[in-house]
Amino acid sequence: MLHYQTIPVTPFQQNCSLVWCDQTMDAAVIDPGGDLGRLLAAVQGLGLQLKAIWLTHAHIDHAGGAGELAERLQLPIVGPHEGDQFWIDGLPQQSAMFGFPPAQAFVPTRWLHDGDTVSIGQETLTVRHCPGHTPGHVVFHAPQIERCFVGDVLFAGSIGRTDFPQGNHQQLIDSITQRLWPMGDATVFIPGHGPESSFGQERRSNPFVGGT
């Protein structure tokens, strides 16, 4: 079975998630934006074997620790979509701008595209490309536990910002309504910031996409 634990990291309180297969205890870390010591302590405390880094997108609070962690533990960086390479290239500048520890630029080991899958141990998740917040944003859907790790596409009561370079409001709305909603109202999502919610709850009450 797939398990996860969410650990807020960085001054932006970004929801980094450890996901693992309980048969093998192999794990991936989604969006290690920083605070690597805390993340690695959690990995050790849970008895996990960290095998991969998965990225939803390349803003500093989500990807700032990826290059260092990959180098330190010889881990592959999986995702996001190629559309975010310009954000990855700018990670050193992003870290300076926001007062984060110096961040390394990198080229992911594997880019992700709509309909791809990623696996950890005996568990497989489906990738959906959900541009709008950034052009290369992806989400990780785990239908076996009715969960989706959505980065900054959707929040409890809100949606991702689209005023950053290459953000697109209509693309974001389309990503939510055409790619997230079909996963089902019962699916609980883990956003990049703030509390979990369900797609059904947001379809009913979210002021930006309610009623869609």
pLDDT value of residue 173: 98
Query: Which pTM was predicted?
Result: 0.98
Report the share of the chain in percent with pLDDT over 70.
100
Q: Could you give the 3-state DSSP secondary structure of residue 124?
A: strand
pLDDT, averaged across the chain: 98
pLDDT value of residue 93: 97
Within 10 A of 122 (CB to CB), how many other CB atoms are there? 12
**What is the band of 79 on the pLDDT scale with cuts at 50, 70, 90?**
very high
pLDDT value of residue 166: 97
pLDDT digits (tens, 9 = 90+) for 109-138: 999 999 999 999 999 999 999 999 999 999
pLDDT digits (tens, 9 = 90+) for 142-187: 999 999 999 999 999 999 999 999 999 999 999 999 999 999 999 9
pLDDT value of residue 131: 98
Q: Could you give the 3-state DSSP secondary structure of residue 89?
A: helix
Helix ranges restricted to H, 17-124: 36-46, 60-63, 66-73, 85-89, 91-98
d(CA 172, CA 203): 15
* CA 134 to chain CA centroid, nearest Å: 12
pLDDT value of residue 5: 98
